[in-house]
Amino acid sequence: MTTVAAYAAPAPKAPLERTTIERREVREFDVLIDIKFAGICHSDIHQAREGWGEAIFPMVPGHEIAGVVTEVGPGVTKFAVGDRVGVGCMVDSCRECENCKAGNEQYCVEGNTQTYNSIGRDGEPTYGGYSQKVVVDENFVVRIPDGLSLDVAAPLLCAGITLYSPLKRFGAGPGKKVAILGLGGLGHMGVKIAHALGAEVTVLSQSLRKQEDGLRFGADHYYATSDPKTFEELNGTFDLIVSTVAAPLDFNAYLALLKPEGTLANVGAPEEPISLSLFSVIGGGKSLAGSFIGGLPQTQEMLDFCAEHGLGAEIELIGADQINEAYKRVEDSDVRYRFVIDTATI
């Protein structure tokens, strides 16, 4: 075992603090990664607060990991010392079910092993990216292309893939009107990716405060959802809406903004249930879909796509002692647009 510096929540809702954790020795198919940057996802906050139900403490959050390989096990074939790599939300799965075999490890029938707040297949708790090193099986590691800096690449490992996956699945592209609901960590990557895919992109944000940024990221239009006129004007407009909102919303109102047979793909994971009238989907033959991160092959595809199109996250780089303040700002929708921890400060 190797002792590694980390930042952890000792208990639900407690502030995160500096600590140490043990990382396993490198096994046959493992790579040891020197973590350089770790993004702060709203999911880290939901879990550290136990907003989604019982969690495992102490918790070292972080599933947007970018770093450099410093050691490889004897059986490793995909990576070598010095490679620039990323780890996202998963570090293992059964690898044998039809979903794993299809590259959809997120749907593993036995349940995937999450990067943190999970019990690994060796029976040990997993600890995430707010730390200086991590040991991961090579099959759950992706390559960060040379064109992407590690700091702006880190958020792609969750925010990037979580938006890329539904945008591809539901056909965002030329001739399609796509709305991104919520301009936070996930949402701003959604705007960039949907624009790069060739779609006509609209941001639906609570206010017009971030309009200039949204247009700079590639949006063609920008509307405030606090203005009731938005809902009149945009009624029946979109082929696809991707909701990234972390709080319960009136989905009936957003479903009305779809064209007939349009899709509202939800990725936001609010802690409370929502109320939905099924008439909101019946009349227009509409679909309400969920989407959950993306598998390893698609995560690599997304990174290659982002490198090709020059897409990184807009980040605010912070020291580890600013994590608790950053959590507060994310909860207040005061994030521009992803906090990334410089892990050298841990």
Stretch that binds ligand NAP, among 20-28, 38-46, 64-72, 278-286 (CB under 6 A): 38-46
Q: 230 CB contacts (<8 Å, ≥6 apart)?
A: 204, 223, 224
Rama region for 171: left / alpha / beta (φ>0; ψ in -120 to 50; rest): left
Buried b (16+ CB within 10 A) or exposed e, 85-103: bbbbbbbbbbeeeebbeee
3-state SS, residue 261: strand
- Biggest CA-to-CA distance, the chain: 62
Task: Decide: is 161 part of the binding site for Zn ion (CB under 5 A).
Answer: no
Q: Which is nearer to ligand NAP, 75 or 290 (CB)?
A: 290
| Residue number, 33 or 267, with CB nearest to Zn ion | 267
Shortest approach of ligand NAP to residue 63 CB, angstroms? 8
What is the closest distance, in whole angstroms, from the C-beta atom of residue 232 to ligand NAP in the complex?
A: 18
Q: Which residue is nearest to ligand NAP (CB)?
A: 184
Please report whether residue 91 would count as binding ligand NAP according to CB under 6 A: no
> Judged by CB under 6 A, how many residues of this single chain contact ligand NAP?
30
By rule CB under 5 A, what string of x and - marks binding of each residue 37-56 to Zn ion? ----x-x-------------
Residue 274 CB neighbour total at 10 angstroms: 13
Instruction: Give the nearest distance from C-beta 62 to Zn ion in angstroms.
Output: 9
84-87 and 65-72 as β-strands: parallel, antiparallel, unpaired? antiparallel
333 forms part of the interface with ligand NAP (CB under 6 A): yes
245 interacts with ligand NAP by CB under 6 A: yes
According to CB under 6 A, which one of 8, 150, 156, 267 is a site residue for ligand NAP? Answer: 267
Residue 64 near residue 129, CB atoms below 8 Å? yes
Q: Does 165 bind Zn ion (CB under 5 A)?
A: no
Q: Is residue 234 near Zn ion by the rule CB under 5 A?
A: no
Beta bridge partners of 53: none
**Cis peptide upstream of residue 107 (ω within 30 degrees of 0):** no
Q: What is the smallest separation between the CB atom of 260 and ligand NAP, expressed in angstroms?
A: 25
Counting contacts by CB under 5 A, is residue 291 touching Zn ion? no
Instruction: Write the Ramachandran bin of 123: left for phi over 0, alpha for psi from -120 to 50, otherwise beta.
Output: left
Find which of Zn ion, ligand NAP, none residue 292 binds, CB within 5 to 8 Å per kind.
ligand NAP
Give the helix/strand (H/E) hosting 2. Answer: strand 2-8
Residue 155 engages ligand NAP in binding (rule: CB under 6 A):
no
Contact with ligand NAP (CB under 6 A) among 132, 205, 299, 343: 205
Six token digits for residue 272: 């409370």
39 binds ligand NAP (CB under 6 A): no
Residue with tokens 């409370």: 272
Amino acid at 134: V
**Short-list 131, 144, 108, CA closest to 44:** 131
DSSP label at residue 186: H
CA distance 134 to 32: 6
Integer Cα distance of 327 and 321 in angstroms: 12
Binding-site member from 11, 247, 276, 344 for ligand NAP (CB under 6 A): 247
Q: Does 335 bind ligand NAP (CB under 6 A)?
A: yes
Asked if 86 is part of the footprint of ligand NAP (rule: CB under 6 A), the reply reads: no
Using CB under 5 A as the binding rule, whether residue 60 contacts Zn ion is answered as: no
As measured in angstroms, the least distance from the Cβ of 156 to Zn ion is 11
**Close Cβ partners of 144 (under 8 Å, ≥ 6 residues apart):** 66, 84, 85, 86, 150, 153, 303
The verdict on 115 binding ligand NAP (CB under 6 A) reads: no
Binding ligand NAP (rule: CB under 6 A), the pick from 148, 158, 264, 307 is 158
Q: Which residues bind Zn ion (CB under 5 A)?
A: 41, 43, 158
Q: Which residues bind ligand NAP (CB under 6 A)?
A: 41-43, 46, 158, 162, 182-187, 205-206, 210, 244-247, 249, 267-270, 291-293, 330, 333, 335
